[in-house]
């Protein structure tokens, strides 16, 4: 194995000859070689591990691996799975635990939530969010009637009311709304090009990334074979399978279950 270091600041893999991390610029001085670190880690808890969380960085570079043995809290300042530099993580963000021989993840009332990559189409309720590429999108079904006009004010001269009120709104950093597109035809495609919601500058979104179909039951999100997947925010807790991907804040983790 070639000598590779792991940046102590951001977890990126750095060739041992480099003095600074190429990802975050932190000095590499005093950093333990990755091989040594992994060996130590495995040696301590390998026997008990039933699952692992592998941190995925950038273009698929694997980073730190967390061994899951029992109940683990992930967050910015609390728990054993810590990402102190990720401001999008709540201090106590999520919990991983085993129940009936299955691994679960549960949102610990975090601000930004826990997102799990879709394996099959998922039904979303009004106001729920999902991730495609770097875009955080919220589905909405109604609420366009506006406040009631009282008294003698008369009618309000506004844009034509769409026949369908179902729509998708992009949520920008800071929680502000961005692009909103009404699903005039009942469904919307999200992607980089030839889509209803186009994000030409998103490097992580596929040409046609996912589709949302609105029905009286809700909004069904279907991944269209995107490279990076579509992630849906979990409501409370969700069982995890081998190969699942999870977003916590900006951290993308892959679940590996021991057979």
Of 235, 219, 231, nearest in space to 140 by CA: 219
Q: Confirm if 108 and 92 have CB atoms less than 8 A apart.
A: yes
Give the residue, chosen from 153, 185, 194, 259, that forms a contact with another protein under the rule CB under 8 A. Answer: 153
> Which one of residues 2, 147, 185, 194 is an interface residue with another protein (CB under 8 A)?
147
C-beta atoms surrounding 67 within 10 Å: 18
- Which residues, 183 to 212, sit near another protein by CB under 8 A? 199, 201-202
Q: What are the residues whose beta carbons fall under 8 Å from the beta carbon of 187, sequence distance 6 or more?
A: 211, 212, 213, 214
151 vs 216, beta carbon nearer another protein: 151
Beta strands per DSSP E along 69-107: 72-75, 81-82, 94-99, 102-107
Pairing of β 122-124 and β 251-257: unpaired
Sign of CA dihedral 111, 112, 117, 121: positive
Least spacing, CB of residue 139 vs another protein, in Å? 13
Rank residues 82 and 257 by Cβ distance to another protein and give the closer one. Answer: 82
Asked if 84 is part of the footprint of another protein (rule: CB under 8 A), the reply reads no
230 in contact with another protein (CB under 8 A): no
Give me 178's structure tokens: 């961005």
> Minimum distance from CB of 39 to another protein (Å)?
35
Return the residue of 51, 114, 118, 136 that touches another protein, per CB under 8 A: 136
Please say which residue, 36 or 144, places its beta carbon nearer to another protein.
Answer: 144
Of 120 and 163, which CB lies nearer to another protein in the complex structure?
163
Q: Which of 177, 186, 225, 243 binds another protein (CB under 8 A)?
A: 177
By CB under 8 A, name the one of 1, 29, 59, 157 that touches another protein: 157
Looking at the Cβ atoms of 41 and 204, the one nearer to another protein is 204
Q: Which of 27, 87, 186, 225 binds another protein (CB under 8 A)?
A: 87
Greatest alpha-carbon span in the chain: 80
- x/- contact string, 238-257, with another protein (CB under 8 A)? -----------xx-------
Token pair listed for 34: 């990755």
Upper half-sphere CA count for residue 67 (Cβ side, 13 Å): 14
The CA distances from residue 124 to 119, 144, 147, 170, in Å, are 14, 19, 26, 15
Q: Residue 140 pairs with which residues in a beta bridge? A: 167
Instruction: Tell me: does residue 220 bind another protein (CB under 8 A).
Output: no
Tokens 């001085």 sit on residue: 29
Q: Nearest distance from residue 204's CB to another protein, in Å?
A: 10
CB-side neighbour CA atoms (13 Å) of 8: 10
Contact flag: residue 82 with another protein (CB under 8 A)? no
Which residues bind to another protein, rule: CB under 8 A?
Answer: 76, 87-91, 110-113, 134-138, 143-147, 149, 152-162, 165, 167, 169-182, 199, 201-202, 249-250
């Amino acid at each position: 194995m070639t000598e590779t270091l792991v940046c102590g600041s951001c977890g990126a893999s750095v060739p041992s000859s480099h003095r600074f991390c190429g990802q975050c610029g932190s000095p590499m001085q005093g950093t333990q070689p990755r091989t040594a670190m992994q060996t130590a880690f495995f040696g301590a808890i390998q026997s008990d591990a039933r699952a692992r969380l592998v941190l995925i960085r950038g273009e698929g570079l694997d980073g730190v691996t967390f061994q899951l043995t029992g109940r683990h809290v992930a967050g910015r300042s609390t728990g054993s799975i810590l990402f102190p530099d990720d401001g999008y993580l709540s201090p106590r963000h999520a919990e991983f635990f085993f129940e009936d021989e299955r691994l679960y993840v549960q949102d610990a009332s975090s601000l930004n939530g826990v997102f799990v990559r879709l394996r099959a189409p998922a039904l979303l309720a009004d106001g729920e969010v999902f991730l495609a590429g770097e875009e955080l999108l919220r589905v909405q079904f109604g609420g366009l009637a506006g406040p009631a006009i009282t008294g003698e004010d008369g009618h309000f001269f506004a844009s034509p009311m769409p026949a369908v009120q179902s729509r998708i709104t992009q949520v920008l950093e800071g929680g502000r709304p961005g692009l909103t597109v009404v699903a005039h035809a009942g469904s919307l495609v999200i992607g980089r090009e030839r889509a209803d919601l186009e994000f030409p500058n998103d490097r992580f979104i596929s040409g046609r990334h996912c589709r949302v179909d609105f029905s009286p039951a809700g909004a069904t999100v279907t991944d269209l074979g995107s490279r990076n997947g579509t992630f849906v925010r979990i409501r409370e807790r969700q069982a995890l399978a081998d190969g699942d991907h999870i977003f916590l804040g900006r951290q993308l983790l892959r679940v590996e279950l021991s057979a």
